[in-house]
Structure 1
Amino acid sequence: MNLTIRHLKIFITVYDERSMTKAAKKLFMTQPSISQVIKELENYYNVILFERLSHKLYVTKAGEKLYTVARQIINLLDEAKDTLGIADLQKNLAIGVNYTIGSKLVHRYIQKYERLYPGSEISVNVNKAPKLIEMLRNGELDLALIEERDNEADLIQKFFYHDRVVIIANPKHALCQKKYVNPEDIINEHLLLRDRGAGVRNLFELRMKELGLGIKPYWESTSTTALISAAENNFGIAVLPFQLVQEKIDNGSLKEIKIKGMDLDRKLMIAYHKNKFLTSSMLEFVKICHQTEEIKSLQLAK
């Protein structure tokens, strides 16, 4: 094993918290990942750093000695960062976002982050989740804000926003005259859909498949604007995130079609590679995402 600064920073957090679970929560890591790092350190130095008794952690003499040295190392590195201006560079972030977040949400987080870190730079890549995940794995992104993904064992995903997909059409459309429609009622309609691989398209296809129903797109587009315009002009019914069409529904140019027995809710997640060590600025951005949406939820509930 190669000893890294990441090992020492995680060890310091476990020492300070006296809990691997609390350290994992603070660092936005999984508890098994924290345990693995401590085990690697113990194997590296051939010592026991923590005694595990009655579900509590007790620091050993070896752990106390390593903590003193680790603190000195980290303090010296922090001093070097300040001297060389590296700390300012670490405030720069590379963020990936899906189309919904890129259009409606991410600007709120960036504005708050820039107030906290004036002069910092955040690069944003708006793309489909599969591409953003590939970029996370290649180290091209620090964080990605995307729809929840299954079977991505090398990613850590933290929920931060509840979203839903809606089916919308021109208010004059025949289906808009009904309070509710059955899933079977939309099979033969002109479906205006995002292109394959888009999260909203995947969710809609999955829910229809679960009901034993197949779909045939009338329009397919990478542009949500084109689909919204087509629906407004009564070319068919569009399947899109609520965030992107809320204003159109509110002003009456589009109307939501309610489908019986179809759950189109979805979770939006903050994702990063499990081996990614989150700097203090990355952790701050994650916190901003959570707090911004928590505050908004409280305001809407009043």
Structure 2
Amino acid sequence: MTLRNLRIFCALAETGSATDAAEKLFISQPSVSVALRELENYYGVRLFERLGRRLVITPEGERFYSYAVHITKLFEELELGMKQPGDELPLRAGASITVGTRYMPRVIRSYGSEVRLFIAPSDEIEKGILDGSLDCGIIEGAPHSQLIVAEKLFDDAIVPVCAPSHPFASDKVVAAAEFVQQPLLLREHGSGTRELLDNALSLMGLTAEPLWESVSTEALIEGVAQGFGISALPLGLVGGAIEEGRLATFKIKGLSLSRAIIYIRHRDKFIGEALKRFEAAARALALSDLSKK
């Protein structure tokens, strides 16, 4: 089993075609077939099902891919790192949308070097960590893969909000059943905020069926302020609108929400000086006033 075999396997997994994989790597199609056969013989498992001209990856192949793509990315890092000083390579960091909006600029400023930042829902950041396209990330809530090392930085409250003119603004405490019956303006599936809310409501036998779903917290804040519905959003992002009087808060009986802000990296990630400094900047955020608002 060689690095070449792993690269060919990754190309097969990403294209689903021996012909396309061969074109991608500038090699012959028979070479692709031989490399796949060598891998399957070496590990004694079938990595792809042959369905006509299509290759469909098996569960064993999916598991193998998570390792193979990480190994090939790590080798690419080695090549780059040996050819130029490590600190000259931009760190590739990911952030969930809430973290990227509110907290990551502070971390990057403290870090002090160039960062290539990718902002997306938490599950997309996890994927980037697993496939090696990201060096590290800060997300909302615990990661799902055992291949990811996670370190809690601090807790961020999720607060129910409505327009100041909404009846809930004066009621202050409402039943969870009343909450889900309102027009709901919520974050999209896959976000840490939405996952936390859905799980908490599920334990109460309730389901949120939103009128709006958006990756943009600002769009949700504006929609709530304009009276289109109510929401539950991170305090760090709605605090300003509450102080300005654009939003009002209320409580949901039996439901108190907060989610952990988590630093993540792959458990097998090589920790160079740049990553050490970024981790220190992330930990400093946990001690700052910003994380306590």
TM over 0.5: yes
Q: In the TM superposition, what whole-angstrom CA distance separates every residue of 1:16-38 from its partner, at most 9, and x where no partner exists? A: xxxxxxxxxxxxxxxxxxxxxxx
Amino acid at match of 2:97: Y
Aligned residues: 215
Q: Distance in 2 between matches of 1:249 and 1:264?
A: 18
Tell me which moved more, 286-295 or 135-144.
286-295
Decide whether the 8 Å contact of 1:110 with 1:122 is kept in 2: yes
Aligned match of 1:93: 91
CA shift, 1:171, in A, is 0.9
1:173 to 158, 162, 166: 166
Q: Distance in 2 between matches of 1:150 and 1:112?
A: 25
Decide whether the 8 Å contact of 1:148 with 1:157 is kept in 2: no
Aligned match of 2:245: 252
Spell out the pairing of 1:1-302 with structure 2 (5 A cutoff). Answer: 85-90=84-89, 92-114=90-112, 120-149=113-142, 151-296=144-289
| Secondary structure class of the residue paired with 1:214 | coil
Q: In the TM superposition, what whole-angstrom CA distance separates every residue of 1:78-105 from its partner, at most 9, and x where no partner exists? A: xxx89x6423324x20000011111111
The percentage of aligned residue pairs carrying the same residue is 28
Q: Distance in 2 between matches of 1:270 and 1:202?
A: 18
Q: Distance in 1 between matches of 2:215 and 2:123?
A: 15
CA shift, 1:149, in A, is 2.2
Q: Relative to 1, partners in 2 of residues 1:199 and 1:180: Cα closer, same or farther, differing over 3 Å?
A: same
Q: Distance in 2 between matches of 1:274 and 1:142?
A: 11
Amino acid at match of 1:142: D
Q: Distance in 2 between matches of 1:206 and 1:137?
A: 24
Q: Distance in 2 between matches of 1:292 and 1:133?
A: 21
Q: Distance in 1 between matches of 2:118 and 2:87?
A: 21
Decide whether the 8 Å contact of 2:179 with 2:252 is kept in 1: no
| Secondary structure class of the residue paired with 1:136 | helix
Q: Distance in 1 between matches of 2:280 and 2:213?
A: 36
Stretches of structure 2 that go unaligned for 5 or more consecutive residues are: 3-80
Q: Distance in 2 between matches of 1:297 and 1:244?
A: 11
CA shift, 1:107, in A, is 0.8
Q: In the TM superposition, what whole-angstrom CA distance separates every residue of 1:197-256 from its partner, at most 9, and x where no partner exists? A: 121111111100001112211111222222111100111102221111110011111011
Report runs of 4+ in structure 1 exceeding 2 Å deviation. Answer: 87-90, 148-151, 295-298
Question: What RMSD over aligned residues (CA atoms) do the two structures have, in Å?
Answer: 2.3
Tell me which moved more, 120-129 or 220-229.
220-229
Decide whether the 8 Å contact of 1:144 with 1:272 is kept in 2: yes
Q: TM-score, normalized by length of structure 1?
A: 0.67
Q: Distance in 2 between matches of 1:150 and 1:269?
A: 8
Q: Distance in 1 between matches of 2:160 and 2:199?
A: 15
Q: Distance in 2 between matches of 1:148 and 1:276?
A: 21
CA shift, 1:283, in A, is 1.3
Stretches of structure 1 that go unaligned for 5 or more consecutive residues are: 3-80, 115-119
Q: Relative to 1, partners in 2 of residues 1:150 and 1:108: Cα closer, same or farther, differing over 3 Å?
A: closer
